[in-house]
C-alpha cells in the first residue's frame, strides 16, 4: 500500500517520510531551481541597475567635500557653539588645510560647496587661499589676520555655514529640493519666496503626468478595442501603425511637432485654410504643445498592454451577457470592462511613471511654465554639476512614484497587473 | 552543399571582422576636438581642422558638446579621455581650473602670454575667439525707413517695437541687459547686481517684458531659427549665429550692437591627458596669426592674438564684435561675478519664470 490514511497519523509515502514533508522539500527544490535560472539576470540587474541607482541616491545626503578636504577644521569646528567666532585653533587648522587644498587644486570645490549656502563664498575662498596667514601666527593675531583678508571672516554666519557643511552627511540638498532651508539656529524654515521652485514643479509634474495619462487612456482604449476585435490581418496592420513611432528617434519626433505646430506651421496653415479658426493660434511653446507631443509619444505604451489583455478576453462572455437580456451598454460596462482592468492598470501605471521622468519633450515644445521636475535634475547633473541637488530631486521624485505605486496597489492590486 | 555555404559565410565573416578590427596600416594619429556644432564648428573646420590635417597629416575628429562640464569631470575622474581639446566658455575654464579638471597651460610652448590680447591667456585656457551676446531683430518687421531698434532699451520697449521676443534662459546676460535698459551705467552694472535692490530692479524691468517673451531659448541655434520662422521679432543671440543666418542663408536680420556683452571662448585640455603634446601642437597651430585671422572669413568672431588683426578679411571687419563702430556701448563679461552668483541668480530666475 502506497499510503496509509488515518485521521490520527499524517499521510506517509513509501519510505515512511510524511507526505507533507516530501511535498515541502519538492517545492523548495523547485523554487531553488527557478531562482538559479533567474540568478544571472538578478546579478546583472543588481550590478548595473540597482547599485548605481543607490549610489546616486546616496549622493543626496553625502557631504564629503569639506570633511575630506578640511578634516581637522571640520572636527574642531564641531566643538564650537555657533555664537561669536570659533577658537583660534579652528582658524589655524583652516589655514593649514586650505593651503594644502590649494596645492592639490581642490580649494575650488570647497568654495563651490560653501557657495551653495551663501553666495560669494566661492571667490572668498579663492581670495583667502591666495593670501593665507602663516600657521605660526599666534592665537592672538590669527583671527585678525583673517578679518584683514576679508571682513566676512568676522561674521558668525560664514563660520556657521562651514560648521553646518562639516558632517559627513547632510540634509542640505534634501531640504533645498523641498524648498526649505536651515537658518542660523538650525531650525528648518521655508526658503524665501523668490527662490521657491521645486515643490511647485513637483506638483506641476504630477498634474501634467496625470493629464497626459488620462488623455492617453481616452485615446488609447478605443484603439486597443479596435485592434483586439478586428480580424488578424487588419489588426496586425493597425498594430504596426501604433508601433511605427518607436522606429524614429525621440528627438526627431519632438522636433517634427515643432515644425507642425508652429504659428506659421502646417497645422495652423491647414486650419486657417479650411476655416477652423481665423487667427493663428499658438500651439507650441505652451501647455497644448507639451500635451500633444507627450501623448503622441506615450500612446503606444497605453495601447499595447490594454490590447494584450483584451485579446485574451473571450468574446463569448459579452455575447452571453447579451443573450441573458442585458443591453449592449450594460454588458460592456458590467462584463467586458472589469476584465480589462489589469491591462488598463498596467497601461496607466506605465504611462504615468514614464511621463513623470520626461523632460526633453517639455523642454523643446513647452513654455517656461511647462517644465517638469526632471528638467532640474538634468540641469543640476549637467550644467551646474550640483550632483547632490540632482540626487535629492531624484529621491523626491522616486518617493512620489512609490506613493502612487502604493495607492495603485491598494486600488487595483499588484496581483491584478497583467501585461499579456 | 549546406556545409560549404556555412563554411564560406563563416570565413567571409571572419575575414571581415579581422579586416575591420585588425592592426591598422601604419600608425596614423588622430586628434579629437570638441566644440559647439553648427555654423561655429563649420568655421573651425575650414580655418583650423582642414589646414591642420593638411600640414601635419593628423586626422581631426570633431565632437560636439553643450557646455556640460560634468562630462569633462567624468572624463578626468575615470581616466577615460574621449577628446584632446574642448572649446569652452570663460566660466567653465575658471571653474574647471579651480577644481583641477583642466590642464594648466604652459605658455612657453605657445610663444608666451603677451602674444594674446588681455584676458585671452588664462591659466587653464587659451583664448580662441572673441564673441558677444547681442540682440537681433527681423528686418522685415521693422523695415528701413521706419523706426528701427538701435539701443538695448529698445529690446524692452514693447510700445514702439511691439512683437514677441525670445530671450536666453540664463541669468547671464539677462539681468545685465535688464539693468542696462533701466538706465544703469555700464561701470555700475555688476556692483548693482551685488545688492538685493539691484537684483529686484532687474527683475522688475523683466516683469514688464515677460508677457511678451514667447520663447526662452536654451540652444544657440534657436534664435536664428525662431526669427526665420517668424515666431519672434527680436531675440538675444550669439552674434556669430545671426551673422551666419544673414550671410549664408540670406536672412534679413539686423544686429543691434548697443549693449553687447563681450566674451571669449578658450581651448582647454582635460587634465592628465596622455596625448597632451598633440593638443599643444593644435593650439600652437590655431594661435598662428595667419591661421586665426582666416577664421574670420567664415564667421564673425574676432581673434585673440593681436598679430592676427592684419589677416582678418576686410569685408568682415565691420561685423566683428570688437570693431570700433560696435564697441561704443559695451560690457565686458564678468566671469568672477557669475562664478559666485550664478547658482543663486539662476534659482531666482527659474522661480520667477514660474510665477
The model's pLDDT over A146-199, given as tens digits with 9 standing for 90+, comes to 888 888 888 888 888 888 888 888 888 998 899 888 876 777 888 887 788 899
Which bin fits B236, alpha (ψ -120 to 50), beta or left (φ > 0)? beta
Q: Which residue of B has its CA nearest to A382?
A: B68
Q: Which residue of A has its CA nearest to B354?
A: A369
- Give whichever of A160-169, A225-234, B157-166, B329-338 has the largest mean pLDDT: B157-166
On whether the CB atoms of residues B62 and B40 are closer than 8 A, the answer is no
**Distance of alpha carbon A127 from alpha carbon A112, whole angstroms:** 13
In chain A, how many domains are there?
A: 3
Residues of chain A with C-beta less than 8 angstroms from the C-beta of B76: none
- Judged by a CB distance cut-off of 8 A, whether residue A111 touches chain B is yes
Q: How far is CA A406 from the centre of its chain?
A: 16
Which CA distances in Å does A383 have to A33, A378, B95? 48, 8, 12
- Domain check: are A92 and A133 in the same one? yes
The model's pLDDT over B91-135, given as tens digits with 9 standing for 90+, comes to 888 888 888 889 999 999 998 999 998 888 998 999 999 999 999
Which CA distances in Å does A267 have to A257, B231, B272? 10, 15, 53
Mean pLDDT to the nearest integer, A287-291: 92
- Domain check: are A267 and A386 in the same one? yes
Judge whether residue B46 has pLDDT over 60.
yes
φ, ψ of residue A121 in degrees (nearest 5): -65, -30
Residue A192 placed within a domain: no
Say which residue, B62 or A184, is predicted with more confidence.
B62
Taking alpha carbons only, the member of A128, A125, A146 closest to residue B99 is A125
Cis ω on the peptide bond leading into residue B173 (within 30° of 0)? yes
- Judged by a CB distance cut-off of 8 A, whether residue A121 touches chain B is yes
Residue A89 placed within a domain: yes
The model's pLDDT over A96-151, given as tens digits with 9 standing for 90+, comes to 999 998 888 888 888 888 988 888 888 889 888 888 888 788 888 888 888 888 88
Query: Using 50, 70 and 90 to split pLDDT, how confident is the model at A298?
Result: very high
Mean pLDDT to the nearest integer, A332-352: 90
Q: Number of A:B CB contacts under 8 A?
A: 90
**Distance of alpha carbon A267 from alpha carbon B8, whole angstroms:** 55
Contact A264 B229 (CB under 8 A): yes
- Judged by a CB distance cut-off of 8 A, whether residue A196 touches chain B is yes
Taking alpha carbons only, the member of B131, B100, B109, B107 closest to residue B121 is B107
- Domain check: are A333 and A391 in the same one? yes
Lowest mean pLDDT among A184-188, B53-57, B78-82: A184-188
Residues of chain A with C-beta less than 8 angstroms from the C-beta of B215: 285, 367
- Give whichever of B216-225, B241-250, B274-283, B329-338 has the largest mean pLDDT: B274-283
- Domain check: are A25 and A111 in the same one? no
* Tally of CA atoms within 13 A in the half-sphere of B142 that contains its CB: 22
Say which residue, B143 or B91, is predicted with more confidence.
B143
What is the pLDDT at residue B67? 81
**Distance of alpha carbon A255 from alpha carbon A232, whole angstroms:** 34
**Distance of alpha carbon A11 from alpha carbon A19, whole angstroms:** 6
Contact A368 B340 (CB under 8 A): no
Residues of chain B with C-beta less than 8 angstroms from the C-beta of A123: 336, 339-340
What is the pLDDT at residue B178? 95
**Distance of alpha carbon A231 from alpha carbon A23, whole angstroms:** 46
* Tally of CA atoms within 13 A in the half-sphere of B174 that contains its CB: 29
Judge whether residue A315 has pLDDT over 60.
yes
- Judged by a CB distance cut-off of 8 A, whether residue A31 touches chain B is no
On whether the CB atoms of residues B270 and B101 are closer than 8 A, the answer is yes
Q: Which residue of A has its CA nearest to B200?
A: A194
Mean pLDDT to the nearest integer, A295-316: 91
Tell me the shortest Cα–Cα distance from A388 to chain B, in angstroms. 13
Can you tell me the ipTM of this complex? 0.73
Nearest to A381 among B70, B95, B339 (CB): B70
Residues of chain A with C-beta less than 8 angstroms from the C-beta of B97: 105, 108
What would the grid cell of residue A49 be?
541597475
- Domain check: are A29 and A150 in the same one? no
Contact A200 B67 (CB under 8 A): no
Residue A60 placed within a domain: no
Place of cell 530692479: B201
What is the pLDDT at residue B28? 62
Query: Using 50, 70 and 90 to split pLDDT, how confident is the model at A419?
Result: low
- Output the CA angle A168-A52-A394, nearest 5 degrees: 70
Tell me the shortest Cα–Cα distance from A321 to chain B, in angstroms. 53
Contact A382 B97 (CB under 8 A): no
Taking alpha carbons only, the member of A261, A247, A268 closest to residue A292 is A261
Burial class (CB in 10 A: 0-12, 13-18, 19+), A106: middle
Instruction: For residue A212, give the CATH number of its domain.
Output: 1.10.3720.10
Question: What residues are paired with B262 via a beta bridge?
Answer: B132, B332
SS3 B25: coil
**Distance of alpha carbon B206 from alpha carbon A148, whole angstroms:** 39
Mean pLDDT to the nearest integer, B331-343: 85
Residue A330 placed within a domain: yes
Q: Which residue of B has its CA nearest to A200?
A: B354
Judge whether residue A319 has pLDDT over 60.
yes
- Output the CA angle B298-B63-B111, nearest 5 degrees: 65
What is the pLDDT at residue B25? 42
Q: Which residue of B has its CA nearest to A281?
A: B231
What is the pLDDT at residue B138? 94
- Domain check: are A388 and A264 in the same one? yes
Residue A307 placed within a domain: yes
Which CA distances in Å does A239 have to A179, A244, A250, A396, B319? 45, 9, 19, 37, 55
Judge whether residue B19 has pLDDT over 60.
no
Place of cell 592665537: A139
Mean pLDDT to the nearest integer, A37-62: 90
Residue A59 placed within a domain: no
Place of cell 576679508: A150
Mean pLDDT to the nearest integer, B264-285: 94
Q: Which residue of A has its CA nearest to B348?
A: A195
**Distance of alpha carbon A15 from alpha carbon B62, whole angstroms:** 76
What is the pLDDT at residue A417? 57
φ, ψ of residue B118 in degrees (nearest 5): -55, 135
Percent of chain A exceeding pLDDT 70 equals: 95
Nearest to A122 among B70, B73, B339 (CB): B339
Mean pLDDT to the nearest integer, A264-280: 85
Those of residues 264-303 in A touching chain B at CB distance below 8 A are: 264-265, 282, 285
Mean pLDDT to the nearest integer, B245-260: 92
Contact A382 B354 (CB under 8 A): no
The mean pLDDT of chain A is 87
Tell me the shortest Cα–Cα distance from A245 to chain B, in angstroms. 25
What is the pLDDT at residue B26? 41
- Domain check: are A253 and A208 in the same one? yes
DSSP letter for each residue of B312-351: S-GGGGGGSTTSGGG-SSEEE--HHHHHHHHHHHHHHHHH
Judge whether residue B280 has pLDDT over 90.
yes
Tell me the shortest Cα–Cα distance from A123 to chain B, in angstroms. 6
Say which residue, B17 or B82, is predicted with more confidence.
B82
**Distance of alpha carbon A215 from alpha carbon A291, whole angstroms:** 9
What is the pLDDT at residue A416? 59
- Domain check: are A321 and A364 in the same one? yes
What would the grid cell of residue B282 be?
593644435
Whole-prediction pTM: 0.79
- Domain check: are A141 and A227 in the same one? no
- Output the CA angle A223-A228-A232, nearest 5 degrees: 115
- Domain check: are A94 and A23 in the same one? no
What would the grid cell of residue A207 be?
498634474
Residues of chain B with C-beta less than 8 angstroms from the C-beta of A108: 95, 97-100
What is the pLDDT at residue B8? 66
The mean pLDDT of chain B is 88
> Considering Cα of A137, then A143, then A147, then A150, what sign does the dihedral take?
positive
Query: Using 50, 70 and 90 to split pLDDT, how confident is the model at B11?
Result: low
Question: Which domain does A327 fall in, by range?
Answer: 198-417
Question: What residues are paired with B131 via a beta bridge?
Answer: B263
Say which residue, B161 or A412, is predicted with more confidence.
B161
Contact A108 B218 (CB under 8 A): no
- Domain check: are A28 and A80 in the same one? no
Judge whether residue A88 has pLDDT over 60.
yes
- Domain check: are A409 and A295 in the same one? yes
Residue A191 placed within a domain: no
Mean pLDDT to the nearest integer, A359-367: 85
Query: Using 50, 70 and 90 to split pLDDT, how confident is the model at A414?
Result: low
Taking alpha carbons only, the member of B235, B238, B187, B190 closest to residue B214 is B235
Residue A9 placed within a domain: no
Domain termination site, one of A30, A54, A78 = A54
Residues of chain A with C-beta less than 8 angstroms from the C-beta of B353: 368-369
Amino acid at each position: 500500500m502506497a499510503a496509509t490514511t488515518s485521521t490520527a497519523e499524517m499521510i506517509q509515502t513509501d519510505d515512511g517520510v510524511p507526505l507533507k514533508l516530501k511535498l515541502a522539500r519538492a517545492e523548495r527544490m523547485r523554487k531553488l531551481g527557478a531562482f538559479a535560472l533567474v540568478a544571472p539576470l538578478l546579478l546583472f540587474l543588481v550590478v548595473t541597475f540597482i547599485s548605481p541607482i543607490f549610489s546616486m541616491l546616496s549622493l543626496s545626503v553625502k557631504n564629503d567635500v569639506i570633511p575630506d578636504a578640511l578634516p581637522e577644521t571640520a572636527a574642531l569646528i564641531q566643538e564650537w557653539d555657533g555664537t561669536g567666532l570659533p577658537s583660534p585653533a579652528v582658524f589655524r587648522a583652516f589655514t593649514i588645510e586650505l593651503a594644502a587644498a590649494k596645492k592639490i587644486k581642490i580649494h575650488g570645490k570647497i568654495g563651490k560647496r560653501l557657495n551653495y549656502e551663501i553666495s560669494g563664498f566661492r571667490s572668498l575662498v579663492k581670495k583667502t587661499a591666495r593670501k593665507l596667514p602663516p600657521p605660526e601666527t599666534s592665537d592672538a593675531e590669527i583671527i585678525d589676520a583673517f578679518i584683514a583678508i576679508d571682513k566676512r571672516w568676522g561674521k558668525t554666519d560664514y563660520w556657521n555655514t562651514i560648521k553646518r557643511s562639516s558632517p559627513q552627511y547632510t540634509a542640505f540638498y534634501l531640504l533645498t529640493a523641498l524648498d526649505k532651508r536651515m537658518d542660523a539656529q538650525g531650525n528648518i524654515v521655508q526658503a524665501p519666496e523668490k527662490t521657491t521652485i521645486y515643490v511647485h514643479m513637483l506638483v506641476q509634474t504630477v498634474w501634467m503626468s496625470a493629464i497626459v495619462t488620462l488623455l492617453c487612456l481616452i485615446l488609447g482604449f478605443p484603439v486597443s478595442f479596435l485592434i483586439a476585435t478586428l480580424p488578424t490581418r487588419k489588426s496586425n496592420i493597425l498594430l504596426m501603425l501604433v508601433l511605427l513611432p518607436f522606429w524614429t528617434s525621440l528627438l526627431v519626433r519632438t522636433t517634427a511637432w515643432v515644425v507642425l505646430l508652429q504659428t506659421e506651421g502646417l497645422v495652423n496653415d491647414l486650419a486657417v485654410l479650411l476655416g477652423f479658426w481665423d487667427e493663428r493660434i499658438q500651439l507650441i511653446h505652451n501647455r497644448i504643445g507639451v500635451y500633444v507631443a507627450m501623448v503622441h509619444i506615450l500612446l503606444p505604451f497605453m495601447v499595447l498592454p490594454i490590447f494584450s489583455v483584451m485579446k485574451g478576453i473571450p468574446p463569448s462572455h459579452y455575447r452571453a451577457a447579451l443573450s441573458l437580456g442585458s443591453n449592449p451598454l450594460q454588458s460592456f460596462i458590467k462584463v467586458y470592462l472589469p476584465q480589462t482592468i489589469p491591462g488598463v492598470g498596467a497601461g496607466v501605471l506605465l504611462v504615468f511613471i514614464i511621463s513623470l521622468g520626461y523632460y526633453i519633450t517639455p523642454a523643446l515644445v513647452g513654455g517656461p511654465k511647462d517644465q517638469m521636475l526632471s528638467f532640474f535634475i538634468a540641469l543640476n547633473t549637467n550644467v551646474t554639476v550640483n550632483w547632490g541637488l540632482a540626487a535629492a530631486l531624484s529621491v523626491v521624485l522616486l518617493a512620489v512614484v512609490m506613493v502612487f505605486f502604493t495607492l495603485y496597489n491598494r486600488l487595483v492590486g499588484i496581483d491584478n497587473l497583467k501585461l499579456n | 552543399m549546406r556545409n560549404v555555404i556555412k563554411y564560406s559565410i563563416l570565413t567571409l565573416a571572419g575575414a571581415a571582422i579581422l579586416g575591420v578590427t585588425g592592426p591598422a596600416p601604419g600608425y596614423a594619429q588622430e586628434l579629437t576636438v570638441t566644440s559647439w556644432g553648427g555654423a561655429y564648428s563649420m568655421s573651425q573646420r575650414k580655418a583650423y581642422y582642414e589646414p591642420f590635417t593638411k600640414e601635419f597629416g593628423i586626422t581631426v575628429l570633431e565632437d560636439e558638446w553643450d557646455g556640460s562640464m560634468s562630462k569633462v569631470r567624468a572624463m578626468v575622474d575615470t581616466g577615460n579621455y574621449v577628446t584632446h581639446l574642448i572649446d569652452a566658455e570663460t566660466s567653465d575654464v575658471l571653474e574647471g581650473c579651480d577644481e583641477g579638471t583642466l590642464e594648466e597651460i604652459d605658455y612657453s610652448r605657445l610663444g608666451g602670454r603677451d602674444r594674446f590680447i588681455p584676458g585671452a591667456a588664462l591659466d587653464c585656457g587659451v583664448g580662441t575667439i572673441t564673441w558677444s551676446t547681442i540682440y537681433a531683430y527681423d528686418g522685415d518687421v521693422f523695415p528701413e525707413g521706419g523706426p528701427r531698434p538701435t539701443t538695448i532699451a529698445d529690446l524692452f520697449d514693447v510700445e514702439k517695437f511691439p512683437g514677441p521676443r525670445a530671450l536666453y534662459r540664463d541669468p547671464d546676460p539677462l539681468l545685465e541687459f535688464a539693468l542696462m535698459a533701466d538706465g544703469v551705467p555700464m561701470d555700475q552694472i555688476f556692483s548693482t547686481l551685488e545688492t538685493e535692490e539691484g537684483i529686484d530692479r532687474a527683475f522688475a524691468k523683466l516683469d514688464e517684458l515677460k508677457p511678451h517673451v514667447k520663447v526662452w531659448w536654451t540652444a544657440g541655434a534657436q534664435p536664428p531659427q525662431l526669427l526665420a520662422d517668424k515666431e519672434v521679432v527680436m531675440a538675444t543671440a550669439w552674434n556669430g549665429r545671426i551673422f551666419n543666418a544673414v550671410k549664408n542663408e540670406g536672412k534679413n536680420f539686423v544686429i543691434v550692437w548697443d549693449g553687447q556683452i563681450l566674451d571669449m571662448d578658450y581651448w582647454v585640455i582635460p587634465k592628465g591627458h596622455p596625448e597632451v603634446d598633440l593638443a599643444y601642437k593644435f593650439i600652437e597651430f590655431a594661435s598662428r596669426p595667419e591661421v586665426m585671422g582666416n577664421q574670420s572669413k567664415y564667421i564673425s568672431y574676432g581673434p585673440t592674438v593681436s598679430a592676427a588683426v592684419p589677416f582678418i578679411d576686410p569685408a568682415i571687419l565691420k561685423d566683428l564684435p570688437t570693431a570700433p563702430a560696435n564697441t561704443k556701448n559695451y560690457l565686458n563679461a564678468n566671469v568672477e561675478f557669475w562664478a559666485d552668483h550664478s547658482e543663486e541668480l539662476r534659482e531666482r530666475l527659474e522661480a520667477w519664470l514660474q510665477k
